[in-house]
């Protein structure tokens, strides 16, 4: 990595962007994303080694993902706030998929789980259909928890980051990570 020059790249498609300053994002010539590009590299190996290595034994994937989201936020680079938000929500979705799988295993109904996995388009509890399924299978009225309003707001933010290239700030990313942490803590109690 030493001696390599960072090149601005579209944060959506990864194509190089030339002639752009980090302060002003222009639409990508390749995919037209308004997310813009910037000369910044995050070494994922560093993120995983620095954050996840201490958790390998006994940690769940959601815990490791949330640690990576915290690591990204701690980089003090506002351009990583959106990525930290996405990773925190990924931790929640992985935890929900695992919870549903465990609930089906307790009910000894693998065929039903397999059929539902083909129908579901994700495990985001902000989706009413997914939440209703989760609640009926697990008996957990998660939508009654104090963090629920923040979770729904954060899920919309995450969707806008992915679909529209929304740039989020540190305060929003911190709220997402706090909410995801509360969400995961609730699931481990249930």
Rounded to an integer, what distance in angstroms lies between the CA atom of residue 125 and that of residue 88?
Answer: 14
The structure's pTM equals: 0.70
- What kind and span of H or E run contains 38? strand 37-38
pLDDT at 11 over 60: no
DSSP secondary structure letters along 110-122: HHHHHHHHHH-S-
- What kind and span of H or E run contains 174? helix 170-189
- What kind and span of H or E run contains 157? helix 148-164
Q: Using 50, 70 and 90 to split pLDDT, how confident is the model at 23?
A: low
Predicted local confidence at residue 26, as pLDDT: 59
Segment 120-150, tens digit of pLDDT:
778 999 999 899 989 988 999 999 999 999 9
Predicted local confidence at residue 5, as pLDDT: 43
pLDDT, the chain, mean:
78
Predicted local confidence at residue 101, as pLDDT: 82
Region 62-88 average pLDDT = 90
157 compared with 122, residue with greater pLDDT = 157
pLDDT at 21 over 80: no
Predicted local confidence at residue 39, as pLDDT: 38
Rounded to an integer, what distance in angstroms lies between the CA atom of residue 162 and that of residue 160?
Answer: 5
Predicted local confidence at residue 175, as pLDDT: 97
Region 159-166 average pLDDT = 91
Predicted local confidence at residue 165, as pLDDT: 86
């Amino acid at each position: 990595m030493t001696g390599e020059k960072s090149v601005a790249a579209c944060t959506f498609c990864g194509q190089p962007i030339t002639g752009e300053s980090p302060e002003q994002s222009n639409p990508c010539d390749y995919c037209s994303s308004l997310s813009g590009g910037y000369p910044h590299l995050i070494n994922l190996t560093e993120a995983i080694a620095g954050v996840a290595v201490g958790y390998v034994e006994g940690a769940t994937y959601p815990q490791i993902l949330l640690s990576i989201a915290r690591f990204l936020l701690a980089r003090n680079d506002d351009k990583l706030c959106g990525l930290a938000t996405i990773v925190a929500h990924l931790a929640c979705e992985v935890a929900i998929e695992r919870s549903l799988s465990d609930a089906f295993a307790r009910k000894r109904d693998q065929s039903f789980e397999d059929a539902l996995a083909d129908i579901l388009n994700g495990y985001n509890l902000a989706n009413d259909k997914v939440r209703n399924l989760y609640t009926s299978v697990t008996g957990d009225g998660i939508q009654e928890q104090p963090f629920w309003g923040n979770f729904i707001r954060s899920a919309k933010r995450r969707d806008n980051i992915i679909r529209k290239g929304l740039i989020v700030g540190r305060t929003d990313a911190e709220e997402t990570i706090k909410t995801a942490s509360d969400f995961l803590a609730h699931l481990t109690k249930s």
